[in-house]
Structure 1
């Protein structure tokens, strides 16, 4: 009987957590007082048989030590945390403050890019991250088995065969670019279009300081009558000067993209080394931040737009690359590691 009582009281002691000095005093009186449970157990101990005393004596002494140790520990805790006790007793005290967090650097740059293009009359368009073959590849001038598809190592989710429900064959994949949103916009409406498409994209790449299997893009599209490459260049010149400031150098290099013709890549002077050469710019003094070009007539035709009447330009940039330059961050893996020491550096940026 005594053993069962000791076991029950031990559990009660171990699970006891007072919120005030009054509760702790009630605990002391219940277990350690002159008329407490421990005193009662020692009185019962006098009546047990000599055989039981050998085992119960040790157990009873350990139980008493447990109660005394628990009481002293809780007393010290309450004495070193007076505000906790005061809060229970005085509800007029102010609440505990909390530290504000900070916006993620990618969010800061994404919002800044959006604001720049909003001032130029661009709207925001969004689309699904899981895409079909038509919107992710075929409508953008990526024919089946075309070598250009190898430019983007894709995460495929499923593949439909031509016999499936009489539908055309097509892969389902995580989108490799937000250009798929451009296709959906052109299919669903009529020109003129002037929009940017921010979002997360996925490519099966080895993770390093310069690459990741997921990243963020902002793509842009402008389709109307008489849109020229000069319009594209002036739009992007304005964007760079707004983002990086006066004195930033810009250059365009001929390139190839299946959905634009002619195509170009745009470089800006490296803000980390100031053109002297570093790992970020591969010691060239220049960093490529986006690809661009005039929308290929085939893409317009695929989306039901007359290429004889309308022209347009498109561009796409990686937010991570731009953030690297803006904040002089050398390793883009930091963006997804959630290291508090890294994120706290942007705490003053919150508004």
Structure 2
């Protein structure tokens, strides 16, 4: 039986010779030094330190050596691979630092320069609410009528059956312009638009009149000297309270959700007879009247506005034959309707001009 080959010289394996290993180390070091970018260094690493590199192939040859020859060959190749990895890490650190400096120089932003970016504006929520209400009436076949906010006393009061002694004509409710003998006021409701409509066109009349109105109220969470109303007027043959109820039910359902209707409570207005206060069914508790409902406070209904059959005196004052025609009118606050829809308890943000408030309701343009 033959014994182990103790005289085997590992130099006979060319890949493991000291000269060949040294040349592989020199080639790798030179390739790493020549790499000018991280991409080039990556390719050099694959060529000189990857699985198919000269040193990797030499490392595989060690297993074919006899046991007494493996130690020297393994130490030689291991030192070489360590030198290659050190050279690779050193060059990579240098190139990464250069890359970071170059990126900082090329992508620097001068924060002191003026910018062309501006925050986007927003349409005011009351504007959008007014347009929504107008769209509802237009879809019903009505027209939208407008008028001046500075109005003649006769159109604001007398034509609407508000006599000279009516309390609404005092300074506590009305803004009067100077001089007083001009008899001009800031309109206290959009009803003068209805009077102008009846004076300028013949029935049938179906109009909605949204707009700003002014009263000498204190400015607080629920009152403002300037607010918004929408009033409706229908003058035609055979018009009754039933038509009024149906119109308001449709408006309530479109504004506050399907299944929301209205109820009437007897009231008094000089320009309508009979007259009623309009309540809308609570769209939160659906009229259940739960004590936990913050919107209706347990009532099940929310006060919304006023309405009634147009007083024959108003028709006569505006040149409409009350023997032939009848009509109905109603009015409610646009601001109040908006507060209902969005659960607001303070109307002051509507008038303070903070665009962040407008943008919060998804009204950006």
Q: Does 1:308 align with 2:311?
A: no
Question: Measured at CA, do residues 339 and 329 of structure 1 come closer, stay the same or move farther in structure 2, by a change above 3 Å?
Answer: same
Aligned with 2:359 (options 338, 344, 351): 344
CA distance in 2, matches of 1:152, 1:279: 31
Which runs of no fewer than 5 residues in structure 1 stay unpaired?
Answer: 1-78, 88-94, 162-169
State the partner residue of 1:118.
138
TM-score by length of 1: 0.67
Q: Does 1:146 align with 2:166?
A: yes
Structure 1 residue matching 2:133: 3-state secondary structure: helix
Aligned pairs (5 A) from 1:82-101? 82=110, 96-101=116-121
SS in 2 for 1:114: helix
Q: Distance in 2 between matches of 1:152 and 1:267?
A: 26
Q: Based on CA coordinates, which of the two structures has the bigger radius of gyration? A: 2
Summarize deviations over 1:82-131 as a string: whole Å, max 9, x none: 4887x9xxxxxxx9454432222111211111111101111111111111
Q: More displaced, 248-257 or 322-331?
A: 248-257
- How far apart, in 2, do the equivalents of 1:150 and 1:280 lie? 33
Aligned residues between the structures: 257
Relative to structure 1, is the Cα distance of residues 211 and 160 closer, same or farther in structure 2, using a 3 angstrom cutoff?
closer
- Which of 219, 227, 243 aligns to 1:207? It is 219
Q: Indicate how the Cα distance of structure 1 residues 267 and 150 shifts in structure 2: closer, same or farther if over 3 A, else same.
A: farther
SS at match of 1:182: helix
- Does the CA-based 8 Å contact 1:201-1:217 persist in structure 2? yes
Query: Which residue of 326, 332, 348 maps to 1:333?
Result: 348
Per-residue deviation, 1:311: 0.4
CA distance in 2, matches of 1:205, 1:80: 56
Question: Structure 1 residue 206: deviation in Å?
Answer: 1.1
Match of 1:194 in 2: 206
Q: Which moved more, 1:143-152 or 1:171-180?
A: 143-152
Cα deviation, residue 349, structure 1: 3.5
Go from structure 1 to structure 2 and tell me whether the alpha carbon gap of 1:174 and 1:282 turns closer, same or farther (over 3 Å shift). farther
Output one character per residue of 1:253-292: Cα deviation in whole Å (capped at 9) or x when no partner: 1111110011111111334676435676465342211211
Structure 1 window deviating more from structure 2 (101-110 vs 119-128): it is 101-110
**Conserved 8 A contact 1:155-1:174:** yes
- Offset from partner CA, 1:134-180 (integer Å, 9 cap, x none): 0000010011113454697001113554xxxxxxxx62110000000
**Aligned twin of 2:242:** 230
Residues 31-54 of structure 1 deviation map (CA, whole Å, 9 limit, x = unaligned): xxxxxxxxxxxxxxxxxxxxxxxx
Query: Judging changes above 3 Å, is the alpha-carbon distance between structure 1 residues 102 and 185 closer, same or farther for their aligned structure 2 residues?
Result: same
**What SS is found at the alignment partner of 1:304?**
coil
Asked whether 1:276 is paired with 2:290, we answer yes
Structure 1 stretch displaced more, 254-263 or 270-279: 270-279
2:272 maps to 1:260: yes
Deviations 1:173-206 (A, max 9, x none): 1000000011111111211111111110000011
Q: 1:81 aligns with which of 90, 109, 113?
A: 109
Match of 1:220 in 2: 232
Secondary structure at the aligned position of 2:159 is classed as helix
Tell whether the 8 Å contact from 1:211 to 1:332 is kept in structure 2 after alignment: yes
- CA separation in 2, counterparts of 1:258 and 1:152? 18
State whether residues 271 and 328 of structure 1, in contact with CA within 8 Å, keep that contact through their aligned partners in structure 2. Answer: no
CA separation of 1:84/1:334 partners in 2, compared to 1, >3 Å: closer, same or farther? closer
Q: Which residue of 2 aligns with 1:17?
A: none
Q: CA deviation at 1:207?
A: 1.4
- Shift of the 257–151 alpha-carbon distance from structure 1 to 2, 3 Å rule, reads farther
1:341 deviation in Å?
3.5
Question: Separation in 1 of the partners of 2:238 and 2:268?
Answer: 23
Corresponding residue SS for 2:218: coil
Cα pair distance change 1:226/1:283, threshold 3 Å: same
Quote the Cα distance in structure 2 between the aligned partners of 1:241 and 1:212.
27
Q: Deviations over 1:204-242 (max 9, x none)?
A: 011111111110011111101111111110011111111
In structure 2, what is the Cα distance between the partners aligned to 1:321 and 1:340? Answer: 20
**Distance in 2 separating the partners of 1:212 and 1:273:** 28
What is the RMSD computed on CA atoms of the aligned residues? 2.7
